[in-house]
Structure 1
Amino acid sequence: MKVEVTDLGSWRRTLEIEVPREDVDTRLKEAYKSYSKSLNLPGFRKGKIPVSVVKARFGPAILNEVITKTEEECYREASQEQGLTPVSQATIEESSFEDGEPLRFKASVDVKPELDIKKYKELKVVRPVYKVEESFVESQLSGMCEQNATEKQVDRKAALGDVIQADFVELDEDGNEIADRAQSDRMFLIGGQNANHDLDNQLVGTEVGETRDVQYTHTHELEDGETHEHEVRFRVVAKEIRERELPELDDEFAKDLGPFESLEELKTRLRDDMKAQADNGSRG
């Protein structure tokens, strides 16, 4: 992985990152295999769907998912290698993945500024001790269940919690499609943790083959710290509706995740990891 860092002031950095083609291709193959085991499609036994079918049906959507995840992971790795301490969510831009070429993208982020503090050695510091609440463990387990959910195609209207595979295209103020702002075979989880609830409500009830125009308010923070809101409009063409099924939170679930003999053993590991992370954080 190649990384170039540009300083945009005392607290802003832009990382230009290049990920080797082979790394992305490997991740993509693993994703195809994973989906071939978890998807439920008519005419195929669960876990026996050929990879070629997965590629033909969901190739573009899986590629987008892999690229997004690769960008997030490589950005974090690059930040650590460069000794940066981000204090904001990174903005990913200028992403490019052409045939035969590596994955290239830029990540801009605010970082912890360097401070010149004098006469600090005589200061007394009280290190807080954090208690790991059981709700933290349950929240982590809930996230693991979400990550290991299986999906099956259904012939009904979309409901909260379903995944829609659809084509999205942004509309201008007059309702005309903006050609270069279109996405094909995008996967969208209705009611996801980070989803826009206005958009969720407008997608509930969608049927395969239906075209809907949706509008919602997008909020983001500018570089000067000001919050900006603007209306966004999209035309959505639903192509497939898939129902998600969460795994049972039991001993078998824990065994599938790793070297755990029971759910309680998995919970213990989570508590220990959270406690260690909190202790390290309190030490600065």
Structure 2
Amino acid sequence: MQVSVETTSNIERRMTIGVPAQEIDQAVQKRLQETARTVRLNGFRPGKVPMSVVKRRFGDSVRQEVVGEVMRDNYIKALQEQDINPAGWPKFEPKTMEEGKDLEFVATFEVLPEIELGDLSKISVEKLTSEITDKDVDNMIDNLRRQQATMKEVKRKSKNKDVLTIDFKGFIDGEEFEGGAAEGHRLTLGSGQMIPGFEKAIQGGKAGEDMEIEVTFPEDYHNEELAGKPAKFEIKIHKVEEPQLPELDSEFFKKFGIDAEDEAAFREEVKKNMERELKQAISNKVKNDVVDGLVENTELDVPAALVDQEIDRLRQDAVQRFGGQVDFQQLPKEIFEEQAKRRVKTGLLFQEVVKQNDLKADPAKVDEKIQEIASTYEQPEEVVAHFNSNPEQKAQIESSVLEDAVVDHVLAQAKVKEKKVKYEEAVQAGQPQR
């Protein structure tokens, strides 16, 4: 086997491999002999088909099959000999396939980039601190009650938290605009679902009432054609409903998996859940800042093959969120491309930090994280046993702990500034990056 490697870009390689004709022809002959023993053709008994007939009927397809296998096997062997670490599968291009001639083919592929990490001391991280107040717990319990609320139609003027069923039609400069109309739309007043000023303007309206309001789209509105423009809406209120909140009793508590005897015990469990959520949100915010810093401080060529693989994963995740009602191939690759590039770049940078600093997943922290997850279930010991008996599941925890180790390593060198915020702000800021 003869091998030559050409560097065509920072991460692309073009490998030319030559394989002796004898190796190919022997493999083709062996495969044809195997075919002759098993093939059934009209006019011939099984196993008695002349080799000349077998070769005429199957020679080309068998040679293509053998060449494909030889290219794959010799490519893998060449990578090992050349000590090359590829990123993704190559594109094969055979130059010669004729009988009696040496096989020459080209494998074009990408390699993992050489990474030179930027100055970690230039990374800025904002570490949030927050406390959960009694009012925060009250708001959370109120939200839980509203999730279980039943609706009662009322004839009075609408007020905050009421649910209105409305038709609306929007106009800019006297003309209707796309996406500015709906019929039978259910709107909770105070939810912030509509643009600023809309909900406040119709609050006080009653069922059967027609209204006209004027509002202005925000300057940073996602549709640039509407951003900053004043609009008029014609609104018809069909129905006003008032949420009927359930009582705080044992039946209500059980709907959220909490076995509490009274409201005080329920509040305590709710607060514990909020504390877990807050801790995770603060951790997510720190990790997001670390990722942003690494990405912004390091120049890196991202292999397209890895990006394509990540796009497919993102598309499959999206299909699952849609309930499996769409083929992931129907989702345009372009809408996932930037997210996929960032994910791949983040993964490569984290791997480099691990490699350069010989970081490991601390077994004690792995056990601690498993115990933390298990504590949220009714039978924690079963959850612990599940992780310990499922290597793939446990590997995910180990990967998470290793990511935490990377974050801690970067934090030790980065510029960290603490900022005290309210609970809701911390939770919102700590949404994990997709």
For the aligned pair, the TM-score class normalised by the smaller chain equals 0.3 to 0.5
* Higher share in helix: 2
Q: Give me the TM-score of the superposition, normalised by structure 1.
A: 0.46
Rg bigger for which structure? 2
Q: Give me the TM-score of the superposition, normalised by structure 2.
A: 0.32
* Higher share in strand: 1
